[in-house]
Structure 1
Amino acid sequence: MTNLSSLDIRGAWSIALGASVWGLFWYPLRLLDSMGFKGTVAIALVSLLGALVAIVVALLRNQGEDLMSFDAWLIGSTMGLSCVLYFLGIMVSDVIRVVFLFYLLPIWTTIAARILYQEVITPIQLVFILLALIGLWLLLGGGTELPLPKGLGDWCGLAAGITWALCLSMLRGRSDPPPVSTTAVTLLCTGLFALIIVVSIDHPVISGQLPSMNAWYIAVPLGLLFGGLILFPSMLGQIWGARLVPAPTAALLTMTEIILATVSAYLIIGTELNSLSMLGGLIIVSVVCVDLVLKHRALADNP
Protein backbone atom coordinates (compact mmCIF):
# COMPACT_ATOMS: atom_id res chain seq x y z
CA MET A 1 0.00 0.00 0.00
CA THR A 2 1.04 3.57 -0.60
CA ASN A 3 1.23 6.12 2.13
CA LEU A 4 -1.26 8.80 1.20
CA SER A 5 -1.57 11.86 3.39
CA SER A 6 -4.96 13.33 4.23
CA LEU A 7 -4.28 16.10 1.72
CA ASP A 8 -3.50 13.53 -0.99
CA ILE A 9 -6.80 11.79 -0.28
CA ARG A 10 -8.75 15.06 -0.26
CA GLY A 11 -7.07 16.06 -3.50
CA ALA A 12 -7.96 12.74 -5.09
CA TRP A 13 -11.61 13.04 -4.06
CA SER A 14 -11.70 16.64 -5.25
CA ILE A 15 -10.47 15.68 -8.72
CA ALA A 16 -12.76 12.65 -8.98
CA LEU A 17 -15.91 14.54 -7.95
CA GLY A 18 -15.09 17.57 -10.08
CA ALA A 19 -14.40 15.44 -13.12
CA SER A 20 -17.58 13.41 -12.59
CA VAL A 21 -19.68 16.54 -12.98
CA TRP A 22 -17.91 17.24 -16.26
CA GLY A 23 -19.44 14.07 -17.63
CA LEU A 24 -22.78 15.86 -17.78
CA PHE A 25 -21.63 19.16 -19.32
CA TRP A 26 -22.31 18.05 -22.87
CA TYR A 27 -26.07 18.15 -22.16
CA PRO A 28 -26.50 21.81 -21.10
CA LEU A 29 -24.25 22.88 -23.98
CA ARG A 30 -26.40 21.00 -26.46
CA LEU A 31 -29.51 22.41 -24.76
CA LEU A 32 -28.24 25.94 -25.36
CA ASP A 33 -27.33 24.92 -28.89
CA SER A 34 -30.95 23.89 -29.50
CA MET A 35 -32.07 27.34 -28.30
CA GLY A 36 -30.02 29.07 -31.00
CA PHE A 37 -26.73 29.47 -29.15
CA LYS A 38 -24.71 27.48 -31.61
CA GLY A 39 -21.38 25.84 -30.89
CA THR A 40 -18.84 28.24 -29.50
CA VAL A 41 -21.52 30.83 -28.68
CA ALA A 42 -22.85 28.51 -25.97
CA ILE A 43 -19.31 27.78 -24.75
CA ALA A 44 -18.53 31.50 -24.51
CA LEU A 45 -21.78 32.26 -22.67
CA VAL A 46 -21.39 29.56 -20.01
CA SER A 47 -17.66 30.16 -19.51
CA LEU A 48 -17.88 33.95 -19.18
CA LEU A 49 -20.78 33.77 -16.74
CA GLY A 50 -18.85 31.16 -14.76
CA ALA A 51 -15.79 33.43 -14.83
CA LEU A 52 -17.88 36.32 -13.50
CA VAL A 53 -18.89 34.27 -10.46
CA ALA A 54 -15.31 33.03 -9.96
CA ILE A 55 -13.87 36.56 -10.15
CA VAL A 56 -16.34 37.80 -7.54
CA VAL A 57 -15.38 34.93 -5.24
CA ALA A 58 -11.66 35.65 -5.79
CA LEU A 59 -12.14 39.32 -4.94
CA LEU A 60 -14.10 38.45 -1.81
CA ARG A 61 -11.14 36.27 -0.79
CA ASN A 62 -8.72 39.18 -1.36
CA GLN A 63 -7.12 37.50 -4.38
CA GLY A 64 -7.34 40.48 -6.73
CA GLU A 65 -3.57 40.63 -7.25
CA ASP A 66 -3.43 36.89 -7.90
CA LEU A 67 -5.87 37.37 -10.77
CA MET A 68 -3.14 39.34 -12.56
CA SER A 69 -0.20 37.01 -11.85
CA PHE A 70 1.82 35.52 -14.71
CA ASP A 71 1.42 31.95 -13.43
CA ALA A 72 -2.36 32.29 -13.20
CA TRP A 73 -2.51 33.43 -16.83
CA LEU A 74 -0.02 30.83 -18.03
CA ILE A 75 -1.99 27.99 -16.48
CA GLY A 76 -5.36 29.60 -17.11
CA SER A 77 -4.76 30.23 -20.81
CA THR A 78 -3.53 26.67 -21.36
CA MET A 79 -6.47 25.16 -19.48
CA GLY A 80 -8.83 27.54 -21.24
CA LEU A 81 -7.61 26.35 -24.63
CA SER A 82 -8.07 22.75 -23.52
CA CYS A 83 -11.62 23.46 -22.32
CA VAL A 84 -12.62 25.12 -25.60
CA LEU A 85 -11.22 22.22 -27.61
CA TYR A 86 -12.99 19.70 -25.39
CA PHE A 87 -16.36 21.46 -25.32
CA LEU A 88 -16.24 22.08 -29.06
CA GLY A 89 -15.47 18.41 -29.61
CA ILE A 90 -18.43 17.11 -27.61
CA MET A 91 -20.77 19.55 -29.36
CA VAL A 92 -19.85 18.66 -32.94
CA SER A 93 -18.92 14.99 -32.62
CA ASP A 94 -19.97 11.83 -30.80
CA VAL A 95 -19.78 12.39 -27.03
CA ILE A 96 -18.29 9.04 -26.07
CA ARG A 97 -15.79 9.09 -28.94
CA VAL A 98 -14.43 12.52 -27.97
CA VAL A 99 -14.30 11.60 -24.28
CA PHE A 100 -12.25 8.48 -24.95
CA LEU A 101 -9.85 10.38 -27.21
CA PHE A 102 -9.40 12.95 -24.48
CA TYR A 103 -8.50 10.19 -22.06
CA LEU A 104 -5.27 9.29 -23.74
CA LEU A 105 -4.43 11.93 -21.15
CA PRO A 106 -2.18 9.74 -18.94
CA ILE A 107 0.07 9.08 -21.91
CA TRP A 108 0.60 12.80 -22.44
CA THR A 109 1.22 13.42 -18.73
CA THR A 110 4.06 10.89 -18.90
CA ILE A 111 5.61 12.71 -21.85
CA ALA A 112 5.10 16.10 -20.18
CA ALA A 113 6.79 14.83 -17.02
CA ARG A 114 9.80 13.86 -19.10
CA ILE A 115 10.01 17.27 -20.77
CA LEU A 116 9.29 19.42 -17.71
CA TYR A 117 10.85 17.36 -14.90
CA GLN A 118 13.32 15.11 -16.77
CA GLU A 119 11.59 12.01 -15.42
CA VAL A 120 12.83 8.80 -17.07
CA ILE A 121 10.45 7.05 -19.47
CA THR A 122 10.85 3.33 -18.82
CA PRO A 123 10.39 0.48 -21.34
CA ILE A 124 7.11 -0.50 -19.66
CA GLN A 125 5.83 3.03 -20.21
CA LEU A 126 6.67 2.73 -23.91
CA VAL A 127 4.67 -0.51 -23.98
CA PHE A 128 1.75 1.31 -22.37
CA ILE A 129 1.94 4.05 -25.01
CA LEU A 130 1.94 1.44 -27.80
CA LEU A 131 -1.04 -0.37 -26.28
CA ALA A 132 -2.89 2.92 -25.89
CA LEU A 133 -2.31 3.71 -29.56
CA ILE A 134 -3.66 0.27 -30.48
CA GLY A 135 -6.69 1.03 -28.35
CA LEU A 136 -7.08 4.36 -30.13
CA TRP A 137 -6.91 2.62 -33.51
CA LEU A 138 -9.67 0.19 -32.50
CA LEU A 139 -11.74 3.01 -31.03
CA LEU A 140 -11.60 4.84 -34.34
CA GLY A 141 -12.84 1.84 -36.29
CA GLY A 142 -9.78 -0.35 -36.95
CA GLY A 143 -9.33 -1.55 -40.52
CA THR A 144 -6.43 -0.70 -42.80
CA GLU A 145 -6.60 3.06 -42.37
CA LEU A 146 -4.17 4.95 -40.16
CA PRO A 147 -5.67 5.45 -36.68
CA LEU A 148 -6.19 9.19 -37.06
CA PRO A 149 -9.20 11.22 -35.90
CA LYS A 150 -11.75 11.46 -38.70
CA GLY A 151 -13.32 14.83 -38.00
CA LEU A 152 -12.97 18.19 -36.28
CA GLY A 153 -14.56 16.94 -33.06
CA ASP A 154 -12.17 13.99 -32.81
CA TRP A 155 -9.13 16.22 -33.33
CA CYS A 156 -10.44 18.64 -30.71
CA GLY A 157 -10.78 15.82 -28.18
CA LEU A 158 -7.26 14.58 -28.83
CA ALA A 159 -5.73 18.07 -28.66
CA ALA A 160 -7.68 18.86 -25.49
CA GLY A 161 -6.16 15.84 -23.78
CA ILE A 162 -2.63 16.90 -24.71
CA THR A 163 -3.06 20.46 -23.43
CA TRP A 164 -4.83 19.28 -20.26
CA ALA A 165 -1.92 16.95 -19.54
CA LEU A 166 0.43 19.92 -19.79
CA CYS A 167 -1.77 21.79 -17.30
CA LEU A 168 -1.74 18.94 -14.79
CA SER A 169 2.04 18.83 -15.01
CA MET A 170 2.32 22.59 -14.47
CA LEU A 171 -0.02 22.48 -11.46
CA ARG A 172 1.91 19.69 -9.76
CA GLY A 173 3.24 20.82 -6.36
CA ARG A 174 2.36 24.50 -6.84
CA SER A 175 1.23 26.63 -3.92
CA ASP A 176 0.71 29.81 -5.97
CA PRO A 177 -1.41 31.21 -7.48
CA PRO A 178 -4.44 30.23 -5.34
CA PRO A 179 -6.89 27.76 -6.92
CA VAL A 180 -9.81 30.22 -6.95
CA SER A 181 -7.93 32.88 -8.92
CA THR A 182 -6.48 30.23 -11.25
CA THR A 183 -9.98 28.90 -11.86
CA ALA A 184 -11.31 32.40 -12.54
CA VAL A 185 -8.60 33.09 -15.12
CA THR A 186 -9.15 29.66 -16.67
CA LEU A 187 -12.87 30.27 -17.18
CA LEU A 188 -12.20 33.78 -18.46
CA CYS A 189 -9.68 32.48 -21.00
CA THR A 190 -12.10 29.73 -22.03
CA GLY A 191 -14.76 32.33 -22.74
CA LEU A 192 -12.35 34.65 -24.57
CA PHE A 193 -10.99 31.86 -26.77
CA ALA A 194 -14.55 30.84 -27.59
CA LEU A 195 -15.45 34.45 -28.42
CA ILE A 196 -12.49 34.69 -30.79
CA ILE A 197 -13.81 31.67 -32.66
CA VAL A 198 -17.32 33.15 -32.67
CA VAL A 199 -16.18 36.48 -34.11
CA SER A 200 -13.65 35.15 -36.62
CA ILE A 201 -15.26 31.94 -37.83
CA ASP A 202 -18.78 31.34 -36.53
CA HIS A 203 -20.23 34.85 -36.25
CA PRO A 204 -23.99 34.44 -35.60
CA VAL A 205 -24.89 37.66 -37.44
CA ILE A 206 -23.00 36.61 -40.57
CA SER A 207 -24.38 33.07 -40.45
CA GLY A 208 -27.92 34.32 -39.78
CA GLN A 209 -28.16 32.36 -36.52
CA LEU A 210 -28.43 35.19 -34.01
CA PRO A 211 -30.61 34.00 -31.09
CA SER A 212 -33.87 35.83 -30.43
CA MET A 213 -34.25 38.19 -27.48
CA ASN A 214 -36.61 35.73 -25.79
CA ALA A 215 -33.92 33.07 -26.08
CA TRP A 216 -31.47 35.36 -24.29
CA TYR A 217 -33.90 35.81 -21.38
CA ILE A 218 -33.83 32.04 -20.85
CA ALA A 219 -30.21 31.36 -21.81
CA VAL A 220 -28.54 33.88 -19.48
CA PRO A 221 -30.05 32.43 -16.27
CA LEU A 222 -29.29 28.93 -17.53
CA GLY A 223 -25.75 29.96 -18.42
CA LEU A 224 -25.29 31.48 -14.97
CA LEU A 225 -26.57 28.26 -13.40
CA PHE A 226 -24.36 26.00 -15.52
CA GLY A 227 -21.31 28.27 -15.40
CA GLY A 228 -21.44 29.62 -11.87
CA LEU A 229 -22.93 26.78 -9.88
CA ILE A 230 -21.62 23.77 -11.81
CA LEU A 231 -18.68 24.63 -14.07
CA PHE A 232 -16.87 26.86 -11.56
CA PRO A 233 -16.98 24.41 -8.60
CA SER A 234 -16.10 21.50 -10.88
CA MET A 235 -13.07 23.29 -12.33
CA LEU A 236 -12.03 24.54 -8.89
CA GLY A 237 -12.09 21.02 -7.50
CA GLN A 238 -9.87 19.69 -10.25
CA ILE A 239 -7.36 22.55 -10.04
CA TRP A 240 -7.16 22.36 -6.24
CA GLY A 241 -6.75 18.59 -6.28
CA ALA A 242 -4.17 18.53 -9.09
CA ARG A 243 -1.76 20.49 -6.89
CA LEU A 244 -1.77 17.70 -4.29
CA VAL A 245 -1.36 14.51 -6.33
CA PRO A 246 1.04 13.43 -9.13
CA ALA A 247 -0.08 14.35 -12.65
CA PRO A 248 -0.53 10.72 -13.85
CA THR A 249 -2.66 10.04 -10.77
CA ALA A 250 -4.75 13.13 -11.47
CA ALA A 251 -5.12 11.99 -15.08
CA LEU A 252 -6.60 8.66 -14.05
CA LEU A 253 -8.89 10.25 -11.47
CA THR A 254 -10.40 12.51 -14.13
CA MET A 255 -11.53 9.36 -15.92
CA THR A 256 -14.56 9.27 -13.60
CA GLU A 257 -16.04 11.57 -16.22
CA ILE A 258 -16.21 8.64 -18.65
CA ILE A 259 -18.77 6.86 -16.48
CA LEU A 260 -21.27 9.73 -16.35
CA ALA A 261 -20.63 10.81 -19.95
CA THR A 262 -21.22 7.29 -21.26
CA VAL A 263 -24.31 6.57 -19.16
CA SER A 264 -25.89 10.01 -19.69
CA ALA A 265 -25.30 9.97 -23.46
CA TYR A 266 -26.82 6.49 -23.70
CA LEU A 267 -29.88 7.38 -21.59
CA ILE A 268 -30.56 10.82 -23.07
CA ILE A 269 -29.69 10.59 -26.77
CA GLY A 270 -29.11 6.87 -27.30
CA THR A 271 -25.42 7.13 -28.22
CA GLU A 272 -23.81 3.71 -28.58
CA LEU A 273 -20.39 2.21 -29.30
CA ASN A 274 -19.88 -0.85 -31.50
CA SER A 275 -17.97 -3.83 -30.13
CA LEU A 276 -14.69 -2.85 -31.81
CA SER A 277 -14.82 0.67 -30.43
CA MET A 278 -15.72 -0.62 -26.98
CA LEU A 279 -12.71 -2.96 -27.09
CA GLY A 280 -10.47 -0.02 -27.99
CA GLY A 281 -11.84 2.04 -25.13
CA LEU A 282 -11.37 -0.88 -22.75
CA ILE A 283 -7.72 -1.21 -23.79
CA ILE A 284 -7.10 2.49 -23.17
CA VAL A 285 -8.74 2.37 -19.74
CA SER A 286 -6.85 -0.81 -18.82
CA VAL A 287 -3.51 0.70 -19.84
CA VAL A 288 -3.89 3.79 -17.68
CA CYS A 289 -5.17 1.76 -14.71
CA VAL A 290 -2.22 -0.65 -14.79
CA ASP A 291 0.16 2.28 -15.29
CA LEU A 292 -1.23 3.95 -12.17
CA VAL A 293 -0.98 0.78 -10.07
CA LEU A 294 2.68 0.32 -11.03
CA LYS A 295 3.46 3.94 -10.20
CA HIS A 296 1.86 3.56 -6.77
CA ARG A 297 3.85 0.39 -6.09
CA ALA A 298 7.06 2.17 -7.09
CA LEU A 299 6.27 4.98 -4.66
CA ALA A 300 5.55 2.46 -1.90
CA ASP A 301 8.89 0.73 -2.46
CA ASN A 302 10.74 4.05 -2.50
CA PRO A 303 8.95 6.34 0.01
Structure 2
Amino acid sequence: MPAIALIFNAFVWGVSWFPFRQIESHGLHPVWATCLIYAAIAAVMAVLRRSMWHVFALHPGLVLLGLAAGFTNVGFNWAVTQGDVVRVVLLFYLMPLWSVLLAWAFLGERPTLAALARVALALIGVAVVLKTPETDWPIPSSLPDWLGVAAGFSFAVTNILLRRLRAAPGESRALAMFGGCALVAGATALAGTALGAIAPPPLAASAWWGWAVMLGIAFVFANVCLQYGAARLAASATSVIMLSEVLFASSSSVALGAATMDARIWIGGALIVLAAVWSAFARSPGGEDDRPSSLQKDTT
Protein backbone atom coordinates (compact mmCIF):
# COMPACT_ATOMS: atom_id res chain seq x y z
CA MET A 1 0.00 0.00 0.00
CA PRO A 2 2.77 2.58 0.69
CA ALA A 3 4.23 1.96 -2.76
CA ILE A 4 0.80 2.24 -4.40
CA ALA A 5 0.20 5.50 -2.52
CA LEU A 6 3.47 6.95 -3.83
CA ILE A 7 2.70 5.82 -7.37
CA PHE A 8 -0.66 7.61 -7.16
CA ASN A 9 1.14 10.73 -5.99
CA ALA A 10 3.55 10.52 -8.92
CA PHE A 11 0.63 9.92 -11.30
CA VAL A 12 -1.16 13.08 -10.14
CA TRP A 13 1.90 15.22 -10.74
CA GLY A 14 2.87 13.42 -13.93
CA VAL A 15 -0.47 14.21 -15.58
CA SER A 16 -1.15 17.56 -13.85
CA TRP A 17 0.01 19.34 -17.02
CA PHE A 18 -3.24 18.32 -18.76
CA PRO A 19 -5.77 19.95 -16.37
CA PHE A 20 -3.50 23.01 -16.13
CA ARG A 21 -3.63 23.33 -19.93
CA GLN A 22 -7.39 22.87 -19.88
CA ILE A 23 -7.67 25.65 -17.30
CA GLU A 24 -5.46 27.88 -19.44
CA SER A 25 -7.58 27.14 -22.51
CA HIS A 26 -10.53 28.65 -20.61
CA GLY A 27 -8.64 31.87 -20.03
CA LEU A 28 -7.00 31.38 -16.62
CA HIS A 29 -3.20 31.61 -16.62
CA PRO A 30 -1.46 28.68 -14.83
CA VAL A 31 0.14 31.05 -12.32
CA TRP A 32 -3.26 32.45 -11.36
CA ALA A 33 -4.60 28.89 -11.22
CA THR A 34 -1.76 27.88 -8.90
CA CYS A 35 -2.48 30.85 -6.65
CA LEU A 36 -6.22 30.21 -6.38
CA ILE A 37 -5.90 26.46 -5.87
CA TYR A 38 -3.28 26.67 -3.15
CA ALA A 39 -4.91 29.65 -1.46
CA ALA A 40 -8.09 27.62 -1.07
CA ILE A 41 -6.19 24.60 0.29
CA ALA A 42 -4.12 26.73 2.67
CA ALA A 43 -7.21 28.55 3.95
CA VAL A 44 -9.01 25.30 4.76
CA MET A 45 -5.92 23.84 6.40
CA ALA A 46 -5.29 27.01 8.42
CA VAL A 47 -8.82 26.81 9.85
CA LEU A 48 -8.67 23.09 10.59
CA ARG A 49 -5.15 23.29 12.07
CA ARG A 50 -5.21 26.63 13.87
CA SER A 51 -2.92 25.21 16.56
CA MET A 52 -0.07 25.05 14.05
CA TRP A 53 0.39 28.81 13.76
CA HIS A 54 2.48 29.12 16.93
CA VAL A 55 5.03 26.73 15.47
CA PHE A 56 6.10 29.43 13.00
CA ALA A 57 7.46 31.49 15.89
CA LEU A 58 9.48 28.49 17.08
CA HIS A 59 10.74 27.62 13.59
CA PRO A 60 11.10 30.82 11.50
CA GLY A 61 12.78 28.76 8.78
CA LEU A 62 9.28 27.58 7.83
CA VAL A 63 8.84 30.91 6.02
CA LEU A 64 11.82 30.14 3.78
CA LEU A 65 10.47 26.63 3.25
CA GLY A 66 7.16 28.07 2.07
CA LEU A 67 8.88 30.44 -0.36
CA ALA A 68 11.06 27.66 -1.82
CA ALA A 69 8.03 25.41 -2.27
CA GLY A 70 6.16 28.30 -3.87
CA PHE A 71 8.86 28.95 -6.46
CA THR A 72 8.99 25.21 -7.17
CA ASN A 73 5.30 24.95 -7.93
CA VAL A 74 5.00 28.21 -9.85
CA GLY A 75 7.94 27.30 -12.07
CA PHE A 76 6.84 23.72 -12.69
CA ASN A 77 3.16 24.45 -13.29
CA TRP A 78 3.93 27.35 -15.60
CA ALA A 79 6.56 25.41 -17.54
CA VAL A 80 4.48 22.29 -18.27
CA THR A 81 1.66 24.40 -19.72
CA GLN A 82 3.95 26.35 -22.05
CA GLY A 83 6.63 23.94 -23.26
CA ASP A 84 7.41 20.35 -24.16
CA VAL A 85 6.27 18.37 -21.10
CA VAL A 86 8.97 15.67 -21.26
CA ARG A 87 11.73 18.21 -21.70
CA VAL A 88 10.47 20.28 -18.74
CA VAL A 89 10.12 17.26 -16.44
CA LEU A 90 13.62 16.04 -17.28
CA LEU A 91 15.10 19.47 -16.59
CA PHE A 92 13.18 19.57 -13.32
CA TYR A 93 14.78 16.29 -12.26
CA LEU A 94 18.21 17.88 -12.21
CA MET A 95 17.63 17.92 -8.45
CA PRO A 96 20.63 15.62 -7.67
CA LEU A 97 22.98 18.21 -9.18
CA TRP A 98 21.55 21.12 -7.20
CA SER A 99 21.28 19.07 -4.01
CA VAL A 100 24.99 18.26 -4.03
CA LEU A 101 25.96 21.91 -4.52
CA LEU A 102 23.49 23.26 -1.96
CA ALA A 103 24.35 20.65 0.66
CA TRP A 104 28.01 21.63 0.23
CA ALA A 105 27.26 25.35 0.55
CA PHE A 106 24.69 25.33 3.37
CA LEU A 107 25.10 22.04 5.23
CA GLY A 108 28.88 21.71 4.99
CA GLU A 109 28.60 18.31 3.29
CA ARG A 110 31.63 18.06 1.05
CA PRO A 111 30.76 16.10 -2.10
CA THR A 112 32.32 12.70 -2.55
CA LEU A 113 33.75 11.47 -5.82
CA ALA A 114 30.56 9.49 -6.35
CA ALA A 115 28.46 12.64 -5.82
CA LEU A 116 30.56 14.56 -8.33
CA ALA A 117 30.18 11.67 -10.76
CA ARG A 118 26.39 11.89 -10.40
CA VAL A 119 26.56 15.62 -11.08
CA ALA A 120 28.64 15.01 -14.21
CA LEU A 121 26.22 12.31 -15.38
CA ALA A 122 23.23 14.63 -14.91
CA LEU A 123 25.00 17.48 -16.74
CA ILE A 124 25.82 15.24 -19.68
CA GLY A 125 22.18 14.17 -19.81
CA VAL A 126 21.00 17.77 -19.81
CA ALA A 127 23.45 18.69 -22.55
CA VAL A 128 22.08 15.85 -24.68
CA VAL A 129 18.47 16.90 -24.04
CA LEU A 130 19.07 20.58 -24.76
CA LYS A 131 21.39 20.24 -27.73
CA THR A 132 19.29 20.47 -30.87
CA PRO A 133 20.39 21.09 -34.46
CA GLU A 134 19.22 24.70 -34.05
CA THR A 135 21.37 25.45 -30.98
CA ASP A 136 25.13 25.96 -30.93
CA TRP A 137 25.42 25.42 -27.19
CA PRO A 138 23.25 23.13 -25.06
CA ILE A 139 21.67 25.78 -22.84
CA PRO A 140 18.01 26.46 -22.00
CA SER A 141 16.57 28.15 -25.06
CA SER A 142 13.05 29.09 -23.98
CA LEU A 143 11.01 30.30 -21.03
CA PRO A 144 9.70 26.77 -20.23
CA ASP A 145 13.30 25.47 -20.20
CA TRP A 146 14.42 28.14 -17.75
CA LEU A 147 11.31 27.64 -15.62
CA GLY A 148 11.96 23.89 -15.48
CA VAL A 149 15.57 24.42 -14.39
CA ALA A 150 14.56 27.06 -11.82
CA ALA A 151 11.81 24.83 -10.45
CA GLY A 152 14.27 21.96 -10.05
CA PHE A 153 16.69 24.25 -8.22
CA SER A 154 13.89 25.47 -5.92
CA PHE A 155 12.92 21.84 -5.35
CA ALA A 156 16.46 21.11 -4.16
CA VAL A 157 16.33 24.14 -1.84
CA THR A 158 13.03 22.83 -0.48
CA ASN A 159 14.62 19.48 0.32
CA ILE A 160 17.59 21.13 2.03
CA LEU A 161 15.22 23.20 4.19
CA LEU A 162 13.14 20.12 5.01
CA ARG A 163 16.29 18.51 6.36
CA ARG A 164 17.05 21.55 8.49
CA LEU A 165 13.48 21.68 9.80
CA ARG A 166 13.13 18.07 10.88
CA ALA A 167 12.14 19.17 14.39
CA ALA A 168 9.09 21.07 13.12
CA PRO A 169 5.79 19.13 13.05
CA GLY A 170 4.86 17.74 9.68
CA GLU A 171 1.55 19.62 9.61
CA SER A 172 3.31 22.94 10.16
CA ARG A 173 5.68 22.20 7.27
CA ALA A 174 2.75 21.33 5.03
CA LEU A 175 0.88 24.51 6.05
CA ALA A 176 3.98 26.60 5.35
CA MET A 177 4.37 25.05 1.92
CA PHE A 178 0.70 25.40 0.97
CA GLY A 179 0.74 29.02 2.10
CA GLY A 180 4.05 29.68 0.37
CA CYS A 181 2.70 28.37 -2.92
CA ALA A 182 -0.31 30.68 -2.67
CA LEU A 183 1.86 33.66 -1.70
CA VAL A 184 4.54 33.24 -4.39
CA ALA A 185 2.00 32.42 -7.10
CA GLY A 186 -0.17 35.37 -6.07
CA ALA A 187 2.75 37.82 -6.07
CA THR A 188 3.96 36.50 -9.45
CA ALA A 189 0.47 36.68 -10.94
CA LEU A 190 -0.15 40.22 -9.70
CA ALA A 191 3.23 41.44 -10.95
CA GLY A 192 2.78 39.71 -14.29
CA THR A 193 -0.71 41.13 -14.71
CA ALA A 194 0.46 44.64 -13.82
CA LEU A 195 3.23 44.36 -16.43
CA GLY A 196 0.87 42.96 -19.06
CA ALA A 197 2.68 39.61 -19.24
CA ILE A 198 -0.11 37.61 -17.57
CA ALA A 199 -3.79 38.01 -18.32
CA PRO A 200 -6.05 38.79 -15.33
CA PRO A 201 -8.29 35.95 -14.15
CA PRO A 202 -11.64 35.84 -15.96
CA LEU A 203 -13.70 35.54 -12.79
CA ALA A 204 -16.91 35.96 -14.75
CA ALA A 205 -16.18 32.81 -16.74
CA SER A 206 -16.99 29.57 -14.91
CA ALA A 207 -15.65 27.01 -17.38
CA TRP A 208 -12.30 26.63 -15.59
CA TRP A 209 -13.74 26.23 -12.08
CA GLY A 210 -14.43 22.52 -12.49
CA TRP A 211 -10.87 21.76 -13.58
CA ALA A 212 -9.45 23.87 -10.74
CA VAL A 213 -11.56 22.11 -8.10
CA MET A 214 -10.64 18.70 -9.48
CA LEU A 215 -6.94 19.60 -9.50
CA GLY A 216 -7.08 20.96 -5.95
CA ILE A 217 -8.74 17.78 -4.65
CA ALA A 218 -6.18 15.68 -6.52
CA PHE A 219 -3.32 17.63 -4.94
CA VAL A 220 -4.73 17.12 -1.44
CA PHE A 221 -5.13 13.35 -1.95
CA ALA A 222 -1.68 13.18 -3.54
CA ASN A 223 -0.21 14.89 -0.49
CA VAL A 224 -1.94 12.45 1.86
CA CYS A 225 -0.60 9.55 -0.20
CA LEU A 226 2.91 10.99 -0.13
CA GLN A 227 2.86 11.45 3.64
CA TYR A 228 1.54 7.90 4.08
CA GLY A 229 4.00 6.26 1.72
CA ALA A 230 7.11 8.27 2.64
CA ALA A 231 6.58 7.53 6.35
CA ARG A 232 6.60 3.78 5.72
CA LEU A 233 9.30 3.26 3.10
CA ALA A 234 13.01 3.98 3.05
CA ALA A 235 13.96 7.30 1.48
CA SER A 236 15.79 5.50 -1.34
CA ALA A 237 12.69 3.49 -2.25
CA THR A 238 10.49 6.59 -2.06
CA SER A 239 12.77 8.60 -4.33
CA VAL A 240 12.94 5.87 -6.97
CA ILE A 241 9.17 5.31 -6.96
CA MET A 242 8.61 9.06 -7.33
CA LEU A 243 10.67 8.97 -10.52
CA SER A 244 7.69 7.22 -12.08
CA GLU A 245 6.40 10.77 -12.55
CA VAL A 246 8.72 10.96 -15.56
CA LEU A 247 7.02 7.87 -17.01
CA PHE A 248 3.51 9.24 -16.43
CA ALA A 249 4.41 12.67 -17.80
CA SER A 250 6.17 11.34 -20.89
CA SER A 251 3.59 8.71 -21.82
CA SER A 252 0.59 11.01 -21.32
CA SER A 253 2.16 14.00 -23.08
CA VAL A 254 3.37 12.00 -26.08
CA ALA A 255 -0.01 10.27 -26.39
CA LEU A 256 -1.83 13.61 -26.33
CA GLY A 257 0.63 15.40 -28.61
CA ALA A 258 2.15 17.69 -25.97
CA ALA A 259 5.69 16.33 -26.34
CA THR A 260 7.97 14.56 -28.77
CA MET A 261 10.39 11.74 -28.05
CA ASP A 262 13.43 11.23 -30.26
CA ALA A 263 16.73 9.43 -29.71
CA ARG A 264 18.27 12.54 -28.18
CA ILE A 265 15.53 12.81 -25.54
CA TRP A 266 15.68 9.09 -24.79
CA ILE A 267 19.45 9.11 -24.27
CA GLY A 268 19.62 12.36 -22.31
CA GLY A 269 16.59 11.44 -20.23
CA ALA A 270 18.08 8.05 -19.40
CA LEU A 271 21.27 9.71 -18.12
CA ILE A 272 19.31 12.20 -15.96
CA VAL A 273 17.09 9.47 -14.51
CA LEU A 274 20.12 7.25 -13.89
CA ALA A 275 21.78 10.08 -11.94
CA ALA A 276 18.59 10.54 -9.90
CA VAL A 277 18.31 6.80 -9.14
CA TRP A 278 21.98 6.66 -8.19
CA SER A 279 21.45 9.65 -5.91
CA ALA A 280 18.41 8.00 -4.32
CA PHE A 281 20.42 4.97 -3.24
CA ALA A 282 23.45 6.96 -2.09
CA ARG A 283 23.83 7.46 1.64
CA SER A 284 24.47 10.88 3.10
CA PRO A 285 27.99 11.74 4.33
CA GLY A 286 26.82 11.15 7.87
CA GLY A 287 25.48 7.74 6.92
CA GLU A 288 21.90 8.52 7.88
CA ASP A 289 18.70 7.91 5.99
CA ASP A 290 17.62 11.37 4.82
CA ARG A 291 13.92 10.64 4.78
CA PRO A 292 12.84 14.30 4.48
CA SER A 293 14.70 14.58 1.19
CA SER A 294 12.08 12.26 -0.29
CA LEU A 295 9.39 14.87 0.30
CA GLN A 296 9.18 16.09 -3.21
CA LYS A 297 7.35 19.17 -4.48
CA ASP A 298 4.26 17.09 -3.81
CA THR A 299 4.49 17.86 -0.10
CA THR A 300 3.07 21.19 -1.13
Q: TM-score, normalised by structure 1?
A: 0.80
Residue 97 (structure 2) aligned to one of 100, 104, 107:
107
Query: Identity percentage over the alignment?
Result: 25
Residue in structure 2 matched with residue 256 of structure 1 by the alignment: 244
The count of corresponding residues between Structure 1 and Structure 2 is 285
Aligned match of 2:120: 130
Tell me whether 189-198 or 84-93 shows the greater mean CA deviation.
189-198
**Corresponding position of 1:53:** 44
Q: How does 1:60-209 map to 2 (within 5 A)?
A: 62-66=51-55, 69-142=59-132, 145-172=136-163, 174-203=165-194
Aligned: 1:269 with 2:257: yes
1:183–1:239 CA contact under 8 A, matched in 2: no
Q: Corresponding residue for 1:6?
A: none
- How far has the Cα of 1:100 moved from its partner? 0.3
CA distance in 2, matches of 1:136, 1:199: 32
Counterparts in 2 of 1:14 and 1:58: CA distance versus 1, 3 Å: farther
Deviation readout 1:182-239 (Å, 9 max, x if unpaired): 22332222222222222222359997765262x23x4335423322x22234345557
For residue 172 of structure 1, give the secondary structure of its aligned residue in structure 2: helix
CA RMSD of aligned residues (A): 3.3
Q: Which amino acid aligns with 1:116?
A: F
Classify 1:205/1:147 alpha carbon distance in 2 versus 1 (closer, same or farther; 3 Å): closer
Q: Which runs of 5+ in 1 are unaligned?
A: 1-8
Q: Does 1:219 find its partner at 2:208? A: yes
Residue ranges of structure 2 left out of the alignment (5+ in a row) = 289-300
Contact 2:131–2:139, Cα closer than 8 Å, also in 1: no
Alpha-carbon displacement from aligned partner over 1:87-127 (angstroms, at most 9, x marks no partner)? 11111111111100000112222222222332231223222
Q: Conserved in 2, the CA contact under 8 Å of 1:48 and 1:187?
A: yes
- Residue identity opposite 2:219 in structure 1: L
Distance 2:238 2:98 in 1: 12
Higher mean displacement: 250-259 or 94-103: 250-259
Displacement of 1:154: 0.6
Q: Distance in 1 between matches of 2:43 and 2:211?
A: 14
* Alpha-carbon distance in 2 for matches of 1:208, 1:175: 39
Write the distance in 2 (CA, Å) between the matches of 1:250 and 1:168: 14
Q: Indicate if the aligned counterparts of 2:88 and 2:144 stay in contact, CA closer than 8 A.
A: yes
